[in-house]
Amino acid sequence: MAQQIDSARYFTNAIDTRTKGIDAVISFRTSIGESGTLSTAVSFNYNKNEITGVIENPPELDVLGSQYVLFARPVQGSPLRNPTTKAVWTTSYRNAQFAANVQVTRYGSYQ
């Protein structure tokens, strides 16, 4: 008995993108007397993504009809939907018997 294939999925490198941005990290560590060590770090990054080119549909897909597109227009926005900014604040305390860590992350707006 022959089986029918309803769909197939594959991954391809169908777009060219450019990412520009900056990452900055400030951290410090200090001893709190004999009781332990306190560490703090703050980081921030900004990224801007853009699509610089889209590969043309191969002829093998074109003959199947217009609903078969290598990199469809609605999907082209997915690399651009990531947040443009991210900030992280981390503080940790450690001594011989105990360790604790607190981290707060803030993501910028996204589509």
Q: Which residue has the higher pLDDT, 75 or 20?
A: 20
Amino acid sitting at position 107: Y
**DSSP calls for 76-109:** HTGGG-S-SEEEEEEEEEE-SS-EEEEEEEEE--
User: Can you give the pLDDT at residue 111?
Assistant: 65
Question: Is residue 2 a part of any domain in this protein?
Answer: no
For residue 39, give its domain range. Answer: 15-107
Q: Which residue has the higher pLDDT, 14 or 40?
A: 40
* Distances, alpha carbon 16 to alpha carbons 19, 48, 54, 76, 89, in Å: 10, 14, 6, 11, 33
Q: Which residue has the higher pLDDT, 99 or 60?
A: 99
What tens digit of pLDDT does each residue of 33-86 get?
A: 788 999 999 999 999 888 888 878 777 777 777 777 776 666 666 666 778 899
Total domains in the chain come to: 1
DSSP 75: H
User: Can you give the pLDDT at residue 96?
Assistant: 87
Question: Is residue 4 a part of any domain in this protein?
Answer: no
